[in-house]
Each structure stands twice: as C-alpha cells, then as structure tokens.
Amino acid sequence: MILLQITNQSSPLNISGVLFFGTMGMLALAIGLVLFIIFHQRRVIRYQLQLKEMEEEQQKILLNASIRWQEEERQRIAADLHDDAGPLLATARLYLNENLVKQDISTQLQAIYNAKQIIDDTIQLIRNISHSLMPPTLKNFGLESAVNDLFQKISGSGSMNASSRFHDYRQRLRPEQELLVFRVIQELVNNILKHSNASFIHVTQNYNEDRFFIRLHHDGRGITQADVERLNKSALGLGLKNIQSRARVLHAKIDFEKDMSQTYYKVTLEVPVEEYEMIT
C-alpha cells in the first residue's frame, strides 16, 4: 500500500526503484525457496541413506547372531548325543558283546537287564533333546500350556517363584507364531535366570484390539531399551539378538523398560494379530 502511494505521487525514478527492488526481492524469495527445497531434499536423502545403512548393518548383526545361535544349538545337540547318548550306547554294547554267550545264564540275564536300563536312559535322553527342540506341550496343547509347563518346572526347582496368567487366550495364534512367541519367552526367562538374580518372574497375556500382548515382570537386575540398543551395536547379547530376529519375523514390537514404580523390570511383546490368521 505504501509502495503504491509512493508510486502514484512520485517520479519515474521511484517507479524504477520499486520495480528493481520489488522484482529482486521477489526473485530472491523464489530462488531462496527453491534452493531451500533442493538442499532440504539432499539432506533428507543423506539421512535416508544413513538410515538404510544402519538398517542393513542391524540386519547383518541379526543374521550373524541367528547363524551363531544355530551353530551353538547344533553344537549343543551334537555334544548331548556324543557325550551322553554315545557312551550310554557304547556301554550297552559292552554288556551285549560276544563274550556274553560264554557266560552263565544268571550273568547273561543281569547283563541284558543292565543293557535294557541303559537303552531306556538313552531313549529318555533322546526324548529330552527332542523336547528341547520342539516342546510337545506346545505342539499338542498350545502356548498357554507350554508356558505354564515351563514356569511350573522353574518354580519346582525352588530357585525362583515363576507364575503365568493368560487372561484371554480363547483364540490361539497360528502354530508357527506360537512357537516363535514361546521361544522369545524361553529366551527371556533364560536370560533372567542367568543374569538377573530375580526372586520372581510373572508372565501375563492379553489381547487389546488387534494386538496380542505378552508381559513379563521380574524383580532382578534387568535391562532397558537403551541397553538393548547398545547391545545391538556390539557383538554381545546373542540371546537378545535372537529375540529381536524372532520379533521381526512376527512383525512384533518388543520393549524393555523399568516399571513405573522403578522396582520391577518389564518386557512387553506386542504381536499384531490382524496379519496372522488366528485359529480357534
């Protein structure tokens, strides 16, 4: 308005000034805006590339952790078979060796009885290995029973008070999902037993809208999300990385935090169920 008033009364020189400065100002604004957009875009692209690199790095760490975990599991099974089943079967073979026919009947019977006992132990051992690979309770009766079973065993040992409560598990997850959730719980419990020195563990289950929740509380030394992120960047925390790769397969979110009261540590696993068909 002021510019217009000045222009109306003024000489052509003033119009020139208004034209020059007005045009330059508008051009500066327009070019400034375009440059801002271009540089902002470049910054966004750089940021996205960094994010991508970090994600790839994270994926690599998780993959390595998964491979290492598989190798450790294989070594454990191999050790169980080699150290336990191997000597047992070798002993049974000793009892049943060629010299047995030369013995008297009572020695033969005793040897056969001993061999039978050893073979029974071997069967039990192989059953235990098999159960550790795939818990039969989980397969036959579902996640709730498997978790209850696991917690009863822990409580039964007397080292810790372990309890679980499933509030709403009328609709079961799909078997492969149940196995993954069970493995996550197993790994968490394992970590608590090994590192936390807790006196109790309590697991609760619930549904909220389209989400399946598992919450695990304990009163020992725990970790928070910041610790998890720190461990993710290092080669340590194989169990945690396994938990995270399983959570990733489930498209689930896992949060490690300290309770509001600052007394307990809490781990929450949140599984979106709309992506996974539930079975009744």
Closest approach, Cβ 5 to other proteins, in A, equals: 13
d(CA 61, CA 244): 11
Residue with Cβ nearer other proteins (27 or 112): 27
Q: Which stretch binds other proteins (CB under 8 A): 13-21, 155-163, 226-234, 256-264?
A: 13-21
Segment contacting other proteins by CB under 8 A, of 14-22, 191-199, 230-238, 240-248 = 14-22
Residue from 31, 54, 249, 279 touching other proteins (CB under 8 A): that is 31
The residue within the footprint of other proteins, chosen from 1, 5, 45, 275 (CB under 8 A), is: 45
Q: Which one of 1, 12, 194, 208 is in contact with other proteins (CB under 8 A)?
A: 12
Spacing of C-alpha 208 from chain mean position? 20
Taking CB under 8 A as the rule, does residue 134 contact other proteins? no
6, 34, 236, 249: residue in contact with other proteins (rule CB under 8 A): 34
| Beta bridge pairs of residue 206 | 213
The verdict on 37 binding other proteins (CB under 8 A) reads: yes
Q: Are 240 and 228 a contacting pair, CB within 8 Å?
A: yes
CA atoms within 13 A on the CB side of 245: 19
Judged by CB under 8 A, does residue 6 bind other proteins?
no
| DSSP β-bridge partners for residue 204 | 165, 215
Q: Residue 4 Cβ, how far from other proteins at the closest point, in Å? A: 8
Nearest distance from C-beta of residue 248 to other proteins, angstroms: 16
- What distances in angstroms separate CA 172 from CA 131, 166, 208, 211, 247, one per listed residue? 21, 11, 14, 13, 18
**H or E element at residue 201:** strand 200-208
Work out whether 27 is an interface residue with other proteins (CB under 8 A). Answer: yes
The Cα–Cα gap between 153 and 61 comes to 33
Q: Which residues here bind other proteins, judged by CB under 8 A?
A: 7-8, 12, 15-16, 18-20, 22-23, 26-27, 29-31, 33-34, 37-38, 40-41, 44-45, 48
